[in-house]
Amino acid sequence: MSRIIKSATEGYLEESLDLVERVFTDSEGEESGKLVRSLVEEIRSKRF
């Protein structure tokens, strides 16, 4: 199996944030959805 690694575009990043928020909102409630989204945004903003 071959794999191709591509840089994530801003559009892709926003779509994935929306997905994360929807999944957690549906399973845990709106507050959890927003909290998890903000945590993912914070993690992405860090430079290692």
9 DSSP assignment: P
From first to last of the 48 residues of the chain, give the pLDDT tens digit: 788 877 777 778 899 999 999 999 999 999 999 999 999 999 988 876
The residue whose two tokens read 């926003």 is: 14
Asked if residue 33 lies in contact with residue 21, where contact means CB atoms within 8 angstroms, the answer is yes
What's the confidence (pLDDT) of residue 40?
94
Q: Does 1 fall in a domain?
A: no
What's the confidence (pLDDT) of residue 38?
97
Which residues form the domain of 37?
10-45
What's the confidence (pLDDT) of residue 48?
66
Q: What is the pTM of this model?
A: 0.75
Q: Does 39 fall in a domain?
A: yes
Distance of CA 47 to the CA centre of its chain: 16
What's the confidence (pLDDT) of residue 29?
98
Three-point CA angle 37, 41, 47, nearest 5° = 155
What's the confidence (pLDDT) of residue 5?
76
How many domains, the chain? Answer: 1
Q: Does 26 fall in a domain?
A: yes
Q: Does 16 fall in a domain?
A: yes
Q: Does 23 fall in a domain?
A: yes
Give buried/exposed letters for 26-37 (b at 16+ CB in 10 A, else e).
Answer: eeeeeeebeebb
Q: Does 2 fall in a domain?
A: no
